[in-house]
Structure 1
Amino acid sequence: MLGGSKSSMNETTGQDNKSSDTESEVMSIEDAIRGFLNEYEYLHEFRLQKLLYIAEMINSVSKENRLTDAEFKPYMYGSYSEDLSDTLENLDESGEIPSEPDWQYGKTATKYLGTADQQAEHEIDHNNLFQEIREALKGVTSEDLGKWSKETFLYENTDFGSEMRFDRLDKDKAINDLEKISPKLKNVLENRL
């Protein structure tokens, strides 16, 4: 998982220096969830999983850094992050995000309600990223996003259930993958390079 700390002794002061290689540069999974919920009336976990996967792809190529520290793996229904799932469950149980039961694909699912007042502490650039992804995916179904995620470079080149390594994704592979689901997503990435 990204975000490990390095520790060394400062020779002048004799105190322990702690530096984070990526911790200060990534946003929390909670803030990413809130960022997407600011853009939608509601989201089911399945779609949110794919939205964050897309945001991770774009950020890892354009900023050469992960957006969050969510670990994604190839699973039966496409890219999946247990970290995201656990965070959603915790936010729901604590009442930090509004939700209600919903009927989806013949079974009960949780609908996470979007609100414009979800407080997220992140850069305005990330707000724009969430908005740009929403705009680029208008008319794209969650089912299509699931199928698409199974055709991405990272999904196809990672063993089932193993962590996807976003550092293996270069600009051309990302553009190719994003263009498959929406040419507008390709533009979102290219405008950030």
Structure 2
Amino acid sequence: MSSPEYASEDGTVSLDEVIRGFINTNEYLHEYRLQKLVYLAELLSLRDRDWIRLTTADFKPYMYGAYSDELSERLDELKHEFSTKADTHHGKVVTAYTSPDSDPNLDDDILKLIEEANQMVRNGRFSNEELAEWSKSTLLYEYFPFGEKMDFSKYGENKERLSKDLSKLEQ
């Protein structure tokens, strides 16, 4: 199978397309939850794609769980593509996004990862706060100091832990 134009030589996918993919498959998704969903999809990608990351976005341990500055910046750059509404989260007014103007340019295997991540947390099974707490319980969050870039290859040294971390959402 040839690589789609959005994929790099190392198999990672455009963060913009992953953002579009998640917003396209969720009604009114705000950044807080999107951050955790992309992080979850990164772990699913390691498991399902022979230890290949989904994107090249850096994540770090942060007050509300796994967080990517790059994801936040890209979402801000892409916001004109989405319908929005005001919402509240942690007592603050935040923007919730929906309906990108175009479908994401993603291969079926990547769309499957996005849908799996959505299904694992959908239907009220996990609140935003529970999803954040889950991200804080993962190996990378526990191993790397607050605010320091997470190295996803750490899971390669501890493959059982990846399964354990993902299974916490499957219960």
Smaller-chain TM-score bracket: 0.7 to 0.9
Task: Please give the residue correspondences for 1:5-154 in structure 2 after superposition, counting only pairs within 5 Å.
Answer: 23-24=8-9, 25-63=11-49, 64-92=51-79, 95-114=80-99, 118-138=102-122, 139-154=125-140
Output the CA distance in 2 between the equivalents of 1:41 and 1:118. Answer: 15
Is contact 2:41-2:114 (8 Å) kept? yes
Is contact 1:154-1:166 (8 Å) kept? yes
Is contact 2:36-2:131 (8 Å) kept? yes
Amino acid at match of 1:105: H
Give ranges in structure 2 of 5+ residues lacking alignment: 1-6
Give ranges in structure 1 of 5+ residues lacking alignment: 1-21, 184-193
Output the CA distance in 1 between the equivalents of 2:57 and 2:83. Answer: 22
Output the CA distance in 1 between the equivalents of 2:136 and 2:166. Answer: 12
1:178 pairs with 2:166: yes
Distance change >3 Å, CA 118–CA 97, structure 1 → 2: same
Matched residues, number: 159
Output the CA distance in 2 between the equivalents of 1:68 and 1:76. Answer: 22
Amino acid at match of 1:152: T
Output the CA distance in 2 between the equivalents of 1:105 and 1:29. Answer: 26
Alpha carbon RMSD of aligned pairs, Å? 1.6
Displacement after TM superposition at 1:146 (Å)? 0.6
Q: Which runs of 4+ in 1 moved over 3 A?
A: none
Output the CA distance in 2 between the equivalents of 1:181 and 1:70. Answer: 22
User: Deviations for 1:55-106, whole angstroms, at most 9, x for unmatched residues?
Assistant: 11111232221101110000111100000000001111xx122222222232
